[in-house]
Structures are given as C-alpha cells and as structure tokens.
C-alpha cells in the first residue's frame, strides 16, 4: 500500500494509518463502503480484501486497492484444510498490503485476523452468534452447530479486538460484558448517497415500498409471508418490492427485482410509506435495518413491527408501529383515503433524516475506534 499513495498524493497520507477492510461477502456492501469512506476522510489509506469487488453501492470508490480472498463454506465452519488455505492467502495479502489495522466486517473476517495475529477492529453487522441461534430450529442440526461454533469464535474475537463496532444498543450492551471498547454506528446513509434524491411529491394513491424478500424460504426473523397477498386483496393501496428477483408483479404489487443503490433510492422516493413488516421475533431488538433510514431519506413515512425496538427508539414519534399483519392492514386502510395529505409529514421526515440520520456524523467514532 505504501506504493499506492502517489495516486492521491504522498503528503495527504504522510501520517495515515493503513487500513485493510476485510469481508467474507465482498462488495457491493453499503456498510463496508461507508466505513471505508470514514477511513478515507479521516486521512487513512484504505484497501479492501474479499471474494468479489466488481461493483459498488455508493457513488464513488474509497479503495486504493482491492485483493481477492475467498471464504469457503468449509473455512466458515472451521474445516482444517479450507482454513489453512484461507490463512495462507491472507498472509500473502498482509505481506503485500502491510496494514496497520484490519477492519473486519464479519465474524469470519475477524476470526481470520485473530489467527493471523494482526491488530483489528470487529464490525459486527449482524450479531453473528445470536443470528445463528435465531435461525436454528430444533431439527436443524446445521444451524445449531453454526450457533455453537460462531459463539465460541465470537468470545475470542471480542476479547482480542482493539474495538468492536455494532449497529444497536442491545448488541452493544451484550458485547460490553466481554470487551471494554464498544461503539455504536447505525446503518445510516452517507450524505453522498442522498444528495440526488428529490423532495417527495404529492400522490393521491397510497403507495408502499418494501426492500427485501417476499418469497419463501424466509430468514426466521425476516418473515414477510402473506405481505403480497395482503395488497392483492385490495383496500390498502399498492406495494413496490425491491430486491426480490423471484417475485413476479401482480395486481397492486410491483416487483422491480434487484436495483442499484441509486435506483433503489429513486424508486423509494415515489412512495408514501416504507415498510419493515417482519413478523415478531425475539432477535428483533438486536436488529437495526438500514432500509428504515433509507426510507426516511427518500421521504417515506416509516412503518415497522413493534418488536424492532432500535428503529422505534431512533425515529421516536416519527415511526409508526404495528403488532401484526392485521393491525398493519387497519393502519394502511385508514391512511389510504388521505394519501395526498401525507405530503407535509413526508417532507418533514426527509428533512429530519438529512439533519440527523447521517453516517457522516460517525466518522469521528470510527477514528476513535481505530485509536488504541
């Protein structure tokens, strides 16, 4: 990485940290890219390693260099031969990049940093051990094994990480039992992501949007079964679903499939309501889905299941909540006749989001996490 500084000017990076962002999932990934831009804007040299990086979510590329490293199913489950191959590849990347710090974006990346004995911060996007437990059923031995394995990895990762970054207060409280430096960085957009979004326009037909999957099988705590049927029955307006390539459009339901991040934001801005309609689950307090805040930036009023307590806490009285799908139907039915009257609330939501729900406010938090 030292040889790459000339691209941006040696003087700019004279006292910079060299930060390697490491992810088992690769790019595009909004949170990885947002964190990388925090690194860049804090004056660091930034590179990336992961299995894929041909595309990006954000408008511009923060990385000086990218290298490929593939996390196999075997290595993610601790299989010795796969793990050995992964370790050898990582050692070559470390030898070439010479990072001062690894920003590990998942439990697999963090575990790799532990084995390589390199300084790292752990960015726990998902609360991996609890998520695995949430997905485990009584007869699902694979999920149960993952839960046990990743819980043991998590303990060593938290004990050895220079700092841990999480998305919600409940997760921070849990991790603080095992590590002293825990920082909360919510899944907010950066300013650069929302600058091109226009103000919401008045519309008389109630339009809702959901970003995610509406076709089975569902992750246990992201269960949206019955959502599209609810709109097809009529009386609650139309639904746009973004991100589900298997869903076909039907009466009152428009499926766009996957869109680029900018296209997604533009599509959402034409809707009145942004939904997070997951059926209640005990894991929800640890969740802080970025779609809720992207809805707000697009000028959508946000409706979520009441068990998503972090979203409710963040948006306070700007967040509409429901207990179950029947309650959501009732709320939508009441809003439908006055869809055109929601314009001021939508404009207020967007203004609030632009002033408050911005990742840029957390650049200094990332900088502190990087400091020993």
pLDDT (tens digit per residue) in 334-345: 999 999 999 999
Separation between Cα atoms, residue 312 and residue 315, nearest integer Å: 5
Per-residue model confidence (pLDDT) at position 126: 82
Per-residue model confidence (pLDDT) at position 8: 38
Per-residue model confidence (pLDDT) at position 141: 62
The pLDDT confidence band at residue 15, using thresholds 50, 70 and 90, is low
Q: Which CATH superfamily is domain 2-188+359-370 in?
A: Glycogen Phosphorylase B; (3.40.50.2000)
Per-residue model confidence (pLDDT) at position 11: 36
**pLDDT tens-digit map of 323-369:** 999 999 999 999 999 999 999 999 999 999 999 999 999 999 999 99
Cβ neighbours around 178 below 10 Å, total: 15
The pLDDT confidence band at residue 6, using thresholds 50, 70 and 90, is very low
Mean residue pLDDT across the chain: 92
Which two three-digit tokens encode residue 68? 């490929």
The pLDDT confidence band at residue 10, using thresholds 50, 70 and 90, is very low
Following DSSP, what letter does each residue of 142-186 receive, concatenated? HHHHHHHHHHHHHHHHHHH-SEEEESSHHHHHHHTTT-S-EEE--
**pLDDT tens-digit map of 103-156:** 999 999 999 999 999 999 999 988 877 887 777 664 466 777 888 898 899 999
Lowest mean pLDDT among 3-7, 14-18, 42-46: 3-7
Exposure string of 163-172, with b = 16+ CB inside 10 Å and e = fewer, is: bbbbbbbbbb
Give the class (CATH, top level) of 192-356. alpha beta
The fraction of the chain above a pLDDT of 90, given in percent, is: 81
Q: What is the pTM of this model?
A: 0.90
Per-residue model confidence (pLDDT) at position 5: 37
Domain boundaries, the chain: 2-188+359-370, 192-356
| Cis peptide bond upstream of 352, omega within 30 | no
Looking at per-residue confidence, does 184 or 16 come out higher?
184
Per-residue model confidence (pLDDT) at position 252: 96
192-356 shares the fold of 2-188+359-370: yes
């Amino acid at each position: 990485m030292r040889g790459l500084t000339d691209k941006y000017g040696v003087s700019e990076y004279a006292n910079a940290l060299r930060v390697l962002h490491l992810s088992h999932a690769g790019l595009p990934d909004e949170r990885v890219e947002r964190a990388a831009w925090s690194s860049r804007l804090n004056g660091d040299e930034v590179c990336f390693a992961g299995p894929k990086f041909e595309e990006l979510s954000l408008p511009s590329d923060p990385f000086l260099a990218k290298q490929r490293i593939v996390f196999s199913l075997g290595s993610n489950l601790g299989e010795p031969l796969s793990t050995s191959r992964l370790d050898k590849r990582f050692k070559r990347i470390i030898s070439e990049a010479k990072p001062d710090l690894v920003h590990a974006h998942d439990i697999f990346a963090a575990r790799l940093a532990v084995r390589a004995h390199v300084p790292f911060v752990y960015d726990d996007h998902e609360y991996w051990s609890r998520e695995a437990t949430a997905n485990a059923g009584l007869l699902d031995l694979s999920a149960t094994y993952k839960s046990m394995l990743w819980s043991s990895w998590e303990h060593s990762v938290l004990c050895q990480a220079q700092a841990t970054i999480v998305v919600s207060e409940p997760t921070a409280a849990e991790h603080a039992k095992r590590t002293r430096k825990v920082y909360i960085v919510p899944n907010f957009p950066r300013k650069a992501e929302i600058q091109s979004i226009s103000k919401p326009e008045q519309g008389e037909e109630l339009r809702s949007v959901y970003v995610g999957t509406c076709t089975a099988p569902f992750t246990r705590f992201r269960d949206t079964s019955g959502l599209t049927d609810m709109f097809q029955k009529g009386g609650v307006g139309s639904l746009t679903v973004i991100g589900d390539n298997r869903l076909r459009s039907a009466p009152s339901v428009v499926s766009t499939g996957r869109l680029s991040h900018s296209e997604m934001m533009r599509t959402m801005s034409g809707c009145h309501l942004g939904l997070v309609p997951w059926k209640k689950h005990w894991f929800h307090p640890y969740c802080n889905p970025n779609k809720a805040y992207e809805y707000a930036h697009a000028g959508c009023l946000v409706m979520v299941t009441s068990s998503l307590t972090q979203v409710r806490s963040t948006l306070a009285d700007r967040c509409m909540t429901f207990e179950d799908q029947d309650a959501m139907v009732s709320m939508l039915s009441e809003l439908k006749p006055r869809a055109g009257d929601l314009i001021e609330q939508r404009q207020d939501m967007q203004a609030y989001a632009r002033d408050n729900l911005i990742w840029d406010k957390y650049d200094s938090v990332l900088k502190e996490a990087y400091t020993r």
